Amino acid sequence: MIFQRCKSVIRLYPSCKFCHKPFSYKHLQLRGLHTSWSRLSNYSYQQFLDQQYWNDKHSKDEKNFDKVLIANRGEIACRVINTCRRLGIKSVAVHSEVDSFAPHVKLADEAVCIGPAPTSESYLVMDKIVEAAKQTGAQAVHPGYGFLSENMDFAAKLTENDIVFVGPNSEAIHMMGDKIESKRIGNKAKVNTVPGFDGEVPTEEDAIRISNDIGYPVMIKASAGGGGKGMRIAWNDDDTRKGFRLSKAEAKSSFGDDRMLIEKYIDNPRHIELQVLCDKHGNAIYLNERECSIQRRNQKVIEEAPSVYLDEGTRRAMGLQATQLAKAVGYDSAGTVEFLVDSQKNFYFLEMNTRLQVEHPITELITGVDLVHQMLRVAKGYPLQLTQEDIGIKGWSVECRVYAEDPYKGFGLPSVGRLNKYREPTHIPNIRCDSGVEEGSEISIYYDSMICKLVSYGDDRKQALDTMSKALDHYEIRGVTHNIPLLRDIIEEERFRSGDITTNYLQDVYPDGFKGKKLNTQESMRLAALACCVRYKQELQSTLFLNQTRIANQTRIPKMQSFKVKIPGVDEISVDVTSAQNQFMVAMNGEQLNLSDNFSLSDSVLAPEINGDTCYFQLLDRFPSGDIKFRYFGTVFTVSVLSDSFAAMMKHMPEKIEPDLSALVIAPMPGLVKSVNVSVGDMVSEGNEACVLEAMKMQNSLLATKTARVSKVNFKAGDTVGEGDVIVELEDI
Ligand code: ADP
Ligand code: ADP
Ligand code: MG
């Protein structure tokens, strides 16, 4: 057989209109990205990262560690490894069995498996980590945050084994890691502390007595607490009794230490914290503040640096108290002194976190200092080269904590799942993504549910927030429920934009819980218009593909198509779409909208210009029923687009009846049933606790939602439940 090479098949392709390289199928696939790339063609994420530490002072001839082990996982492990790489330090990752192929393991130079998935058998086992460090010859261990980072025994154990703990000395951890002790020291060091009882509260009865002495409202807290866990507000004796019990149990299971304290609850405060940096030579400086008032369940979700609230005088006063406290305990690493600031700008010391804080990147971006590098330097014994005068404020930075959690349930209940699709918006200029996941990663019940820290930077607050909005619009996460709808809504919310925020912000702005973005008329119209254009394209595509002979059939496609569109909360709209020359003309409600036809149905982020404004939509799904699912302003909207004739038929379909959920106590998330407090036949009234569910180390009290009799109990203490499982069923009396 003779093979002949036919020269005539070589065709000349036109060049790609975005990158001007010869056009191929790849360009079609990448078109969504290309659209953004073309505008930012000279932007490089790596370059942005490389330039962020412009103020990271150290001596040129300093010799750092050769090898550092990172006793953590996820984003913080990756964060520390990145600095090690930049400095030419070899890195060792430790990991549990389920984390064998996690990004932090791949990023490190070496990795050691330290046990099964549960943290109590891997990341929290000191001996295994010390062993791993010895085995790999690591000279130092960076603990990240959480896990063993504030464990003085761990720091001491490493020192015994001649391994450097990259953090403060264990004495300082001991003094500051405990809220009761740190308050006493704070008082002694003339730092303003929250008024209250600075001792341990042993029993429920004591709790009630002390709460009454302080005067309601009070805050009940676990002395060893962190991450917002083991903490409850009490407004009366009943709250105290319940809060004391739940918080104590939570503290026991999360920190293995259930000592409790009680202090005055400061109403409507701001949470403002000061980053400090100290060395072993008595130098201590502060790197400005971070405003962390946007919190749910006393845990931060959005942080920014600097704070709109502080004037230079207050900043200096707080900075001085922070360094004063650090010096009082001989602090010798990076740490954070947290304050509550009331409406009169009085500030009260809350606690000191003796570790690298989750939200440290915003400080890095406005000061140009690499905090991990400085921690490594001072751990090695070098004095700080930075002085207080070197620390200024350059620009503004905002961090959104992107969590795998459902924002529609209590502003965020943890969720689990696999990241089926995952694309970070690192192509947007001035965005830093600190994450430890990749496409295909599993968000499991074993670890923290944070997916990524999305950090934006700008010359001023407005710029930083606008960039954040855009980044959230371009962030693609599929497979797990996440809190981008809430984050995106807050970033544009009027009160937040004006800087008028307190730790009660979420309750104040969303008194009935977060219900998703509320579209105004213009936004609804734009969504409807885009949905029709998508449907128009879809019809066009199916006609073309069905008939194969494209050109011949082009004439058969009607130039105008009419649809009936339904958006949740808006009446059905009739829409006519006409297409001409890369432009859609959409007529509805007596108005015309012009949309640029710059997207294809395979793009996941659509960025059409609508009447001159660029709008961002994520196209999530298209269903045969005519429903199209979009993410718009972060929230998912399902738009029904039907042809006129189909819509007429749909009118005869029966409506789906929603079941009565008030008769059921449903698990809002996967977890472990700690106790079931009712049995079959019991009478309950609205607000009675039916059971306690432990999920992600939090104790959640599930309540009956009406007065009724218990008809069924489907689970018992010790059982594991999945999201949506019915634990208790009620029947009307
Ligand atoms: P704060 O303790 O004041 O809330 P952060 O916002 O920095 O300060 O929260 C960090 C806390 O969250 C840690 O102390 C820890 O309890 C928890 N945490 C967060 N991420 C992790 C993680 N990867 N592993 C373990 N604990 C974590
Ligand atoms: P954690 O160690 O969990 O971070 P913190 O003591 O730092 O615990 O408190 C976390 C958050 O709880 C604070 O940012 C604040 O919103 C709220 N909080 C704590 N104590 C009080 C208080 N006394 N009054 C009002 N709010 C408080
Ligand atoms: Mg705190």
Q: Name the residue with tokens 């432990």.
A: 694
611-635 per-position pLDDT tens digit: 999 999 999 999 988 999 999 999 9
Query: Looking at the chain, which residues constitute the CATH 3.30.700.30 domain(s)?
Result: 521-650
State how far the Cα of 538 lies from the Cα of 577, in Å rounded to an integer.
Answer: 13
pLDDT at site 631: 98
List residues bridging with 303 in a β-sheet.
399
pLDDT at site 641: 95
In a 3-state reduction of DSSP, which class is residue 571?
A: coil
| Sheet of strand 683-684, all strands in order from the earlier edge strand to the far edge | 664-666, 726-731, 708-713, 683-684
- CATH topology assigned to domain 521-650: Glycoprotein, Type 4 Pilin (3.30.700)
| 561 against 433, higher pLDDT | 433
Q: Quick one: tokens of 499?
A: 């800087």
* Cβ–Cβ < 8 Å for 687, 641: no
Q: Name the architecture of domain 664-731.
A: Beta Barrel (2.40)
Confidence of residue 547 (pLDDT cuts 50, 70, 90): low
Judge whether residue 431 has pLDDT over 50. yes
Distance (angstroms) between ligand 1 centre and the Cα of 447 equals 11
Judge whether residue 34 has pLDDT over 90. no
* 21-30, 119-128, 294-303, range with the lowest pLDDT: 21-30
Confidence of residue 701 (pLDDT cuts 50, 70, 90): confident
Ligand 1 in contact with 146 (CB < 6 A)?
Answer: yes
* Cβ–Cβ < 8 Å for 68, 141: yes
Task: Give phi and psi for 484, each to the nearest 5.
Answer: -60, -35
**Taking the model in full, what pTM does it have?**
0.87
* Cβ–Cβ < 8 Å for 269, 502: yes
Q: Name the residue with tokens 């360094």.
A: 323
Confidence of residue 35 (pLDDT cuts 50, 70, 90): very low
Query: Looking at the chain, which residues constitute the CATH 3.30.470.20 domain(s)?
Result: 175-509
Distance (angstroms) between ligand 2 centre and the Cα of 227 equals 9
pLDDT at site 549: 54
pLDDT at site 254: 81
Q: Which ligand is nearest to the CA of 194?
A: 2
Confidence of residue 31 (pLDDT cuts 50, 70, 90): very low
Query: Between β-strands 90-95 and 110-113, what pairing exists: parallel, antiparallel or unpaired?
Result: parallel
| pLDDT, mean of residues 397-405 | 97
Query: Looking at the chain, which residues constitute the CATH 3.40.50.20 domain(s)?
Result: 2-170
Query: Looking at the chain, which residues constitute the CATH 2.40.50.100 domain(s)?
Result: 664-731
Nearest residue to 253 (alpha-carbon basis) of 701, 721, 672: 672
Q: Which ligand is nearest to the CA of 358?
A: 1
State how far the Cα of 161 lies from the Cα of 570, in Å rounded to an integer.
Answer: 67
* 241-255, 349-363, 625-639, range with the lowest pLDDT: 241-255
Instruction: Report which DSSP code applies to 607.
Output: -
State how far the Cα of 537 lies from the Cα of 517, in Å rounded to an integer.
Answer: 27
638-659 per-position pLDDT tens digit: 999 998 888 888 888 887 777 7
Among 145, 182, 219, 299, which is best to mutate for testing ligand 1, by the most ligand atoms less than 8 A from CB? 145
Burial class of residue 192 in the structure, from the number of CB atoms within 10 Å of its CB (0-12 exposed, 13-18 middle, 19+ buried): middle
Among 358, 402, 503, which is best to mutate for testing ligand 1, by the most ligand atoms less than 8 A from CB? 358
Query: Average pLDDT of the chain?
Result: 90
pLDDT at site 192: 94
| 373 against 227, higher pLDDT | 373
> Measuring from atom 27 of ligand 1, which residue has the nearest CA?
146
* Cβ–Cβ < 8 Å for 184, 237: no
Burial class of residue 530 in the structure, from the number of CB atoms within 10 Å of its CB (0-12 exposed, 13-18 middle, 19+ buried): buried
Active site residue 355: yes
Ligand 1 in contact with 401 (CB < 6 A)?
Answer: no
Burial 543-564 (b: 16+ CB within 10 A, else e): eeeeeeeeeeeeeeeeeebebb
pLDDT at site 671: 86
Nearest residue to 138 (alpha-carbon basis) of 97, 84, 101, 102: 84
Ligand 1 in contact with 74 (CB < 6 A)?
Answer: yes
State how far the Cα of 363 lies from the Cα of 574, in Å rounded to an integer.
Answer: 51
State how far the Cα of 233 lies from the Cα of 246, in Å rounded to an integer.
Answer: 12
* 55-64, 154-163, 407-416, 528-537, range with the lowest pLDDT: 407-416
> Measuring from atom 25 of ligand 1, which residue has the nearest CA?
146
Ligand 2 in contact with 251 (CB < 6 A)?
Answer: no
Select which of 79, 270, 290, 355 is catalytic.
355
* Cβ–Cβ < 8 Å for 429, 43: yes
* Cβ–Cβ < 8 Å for 391, 385: no
Judge whether residue 165 has pLDDT over 90. yes
State how far the Cα of 231 lies from the Cα of 323, in Å rounded to an integer.
Answer: 27
pLDDT at site 12: 41
Distance (angstroms) between ligand 2 centre and the Cα of 529 equals 46
Q: Is the dihedral of CA 549, 551, 555, 559 positive or negative?
A: positive
**Chain-centre distance of CA 565, in angstroms?**
34
Angle in degrees, CA 361, 316, 387, rounded to 5: 65
Angle in degrees, CA 133, 134, 139, rounded to 5: 65
- CATH topology assigned to domain 175-509: D-amino Acid Aminotransferase; Chain A, domain 1 (3.30.470)
Could you confirm whether domain 2-170 is CATH 3.40.1160.10?
Answer: no
* Cβ–Cβ < 8 Å for 276, 332: no
Judge whether residue 22 has pLDDT over 70. no
Q: Name the residue with tokens 């593909």.
A: 545
Q: How many CB atoms lie within 10 A of CB 462?
A: 11
* Cβ–Cβ < 8 Å for 473, 501: no
pLDDT at site 545: 62
Ligand 1 in contact with 349 (CB < 6 A)?
Answer: no
